[in-house]
Amino acid sequence: MSAANASTLPALALLLHGLCGRATTVQQADTTTETGQHTRSILTETHLLLATASFDAEKTLPGLLRSSVAHAAGHLLYTTPNRPVTGLKPMGVALVSAIEDARVDLLMIQQYPGLKGWFLPWLQADRDASTPGFSALIARMSRALIDDDYRDDDYWVNKARAMFRACTQAHGLHDYAGFRRVASILANDLGQMRVRYNPQQFVVPTPYRDDNTFQWTDPRAPPAQSSHALTSSSGRPQALVGQTPQGEREPDAQPRVGQEMELGCARYPEWDYQREMHRLDWCTVLEKRPGWNAMTTHDQTRPDFASLPRVAVLRHRTLTRAQPIRRQYEGEQLDLNAAIETVIERRLGLAPDGRYFMRSGHRARTSSILILLDLSESANDSIAGLTQSVLELEKQAAIMLAHSTANSQDRIAIHGFSSNTRSAVRYVRYLDFGVELSAVSCSQIQNAQAMHSTRLGAALRHAATFFEDESSDQHAIIVVTDGAPSDIDIFDPAYLVADAAQAIKELQPGLRAYCVALDPQADSCVKSMFGAHNYRVVLHPRALPRQLADLTRRLGAH
């Protein structure tokens, strides 16, 4: 700040006192880091250090300083300082801070309507970025929450505005807990969108707002990156922002991924319904097995198979299939293959065994059924009225089904899938065809983790490859899911639905796909993918094991 402008500090202190009624020292702060990066003003309960290094223009600086003082007054009036950051990741802290900034600005505007004209010129929003980062999204959200006339085409920004308004209408602007819940939901959405956040580089995008250290007590989590120490009149250093603690995971980091053993990868096409053509080699499926360290092998955690409910699946099947019984000493027809082999053996000077006939016989129909579990992040959601999550019900149903078919001629495989864009479709093999359900495989299923998104078409194409060596009469894939397919790199909700439907149409002859859906709202979506007769919606989640068993039994009867 120039010498001419330094004389305005007493006036700004008077303005701050007039707006909030609190005597606060206003000083200039050099908020330029060692790397030359400019940060924001710093507010404490006794001081306001104004950041002016990047705003030297005489025309813009007075307006910026007035806006900074008005915003600081809002925090001193309406924000509870030094809140703990317990349970919040760095991205969550930054988003809660931005929501709180908007809340206090609107409270100040309610009290002093003219302040809106002070704030709006500094609420810049860049809508041209094709893939906006965290800072750009925060800037656009900040403008949308203050300016009713602002229009934005980003879904997340519009969702933030709608949730903020709904909370305001329901409880008013003084409900801090309600707005914090809104911020938590929005932060989770950003994690699902894989928006990257670097706490060492983030700067509050609105220049008149402070660095948010006023709101928090933990020096590790707030988003500002001040590199200097602030000393109060008592000489005690104030808590500022430091580094993210080593080992802290970003919101989109998922546990246990490193514990899975990657077996290989395969590339598959994807159907573009708008162009009516395949995108060749578009999706990469990463085939994996659960790692040993993902299992719990203590005796007390091993399943008690005797106590598991044994659902009636295929044991009551009575339908059989006509089958010629070859190489018989007598019968109704000549076995041509045996006759040819007899001629060959005689020419080689060998003695034929004399079984030249065949007769009609019957045998029970057999099935090979692959249970494909949706392991997307939404499976971690709890079910209303139950203590279990969707994932826990899926795993329980799969284990019960495998246990119930253990002593039959039918073959069961249990696999799971999720996706993190088209380049990383995770496909995990928990139980393969012909493998007995043991304590180890059961433990692997029980420790299955849900994460990321649901690219169903690629998973179906890969699942179909496991039937190439199956000689059973009936081949089927049963998808257990809680909703429509989606992924973070797809913005057209119909795109992956159409791709999954195309993948089902392209399955090899004799292989059929079915679906058990846990979301009643997904009825039309599932019907368009699997057909009118190849799915069922489970209205009561507790009925999932029996519904899955009933569908399996019906498949064996056809």
Give whole-number Cα distances, 327 to 323, 337, 348, 350, 359, in Å. Answer: 13, 9, 20, 17, 9
Angle of helix 134-146 versus helix 155-171 axis, rounded to 10: 40
The sign of the dihedral angle between the CA atoms of 195, 201, 202, 205 is negative
Max CA separation in the chain (angstroms):
119
d(CA 519, CA 21): 54
Identify the structural domains of the chain with CATH numbers, from first to last: 3-192 (no CATH), 259-301+366-557 (3.40.50.410), 320-364 (no CATH)
Give whole-number Cα distances, 531 to 86, 207, 528, in Å. Answer: 48, 55, 6
d(CA 108, CA 124): 20
Q: Tell me whether strands 320-328 and 357-364 are parallel, antiparallel or unpaired.
A: antiparallel
Q: How does pLDDT run along the chain (558 residues), one tens digit per residue? A: 444 456 678 888 899 989 988 888 888 875 554 444 557 888 888 888 887 654 545 556 788 889 999 999 999 999 988 888 777 888 889 999 999 999 999 999 999 999 999 999 988 877 665 557 888 899 999 999 999 889 888 889 999 999 999 999 988 898 888 888 899 889 888 888 888 888 777 888 888 999 888 888 744 333 433 333 333 333 333 332 333 333 333 333 333 433 678 888 899 999 999 989 999 989 999 998 886 543 444 443 444 444 444 444 444 444 455 667 777 777 778 888 888 888 887 887 777 777 878 877 665 677 888 999 999 988 888 766 667 788 888 888 888 888 877 667 778 899 999 999 999 999 999 998 888 888 888 888 888 889 999 999 999 999 999 998 887 878 999 999 888 899 988 888 899 999 999 999 999 988 999 998 887 777 788 889 998 888 888 877 777 877 787 777 776 555
d(CA 349, CA 4): 118
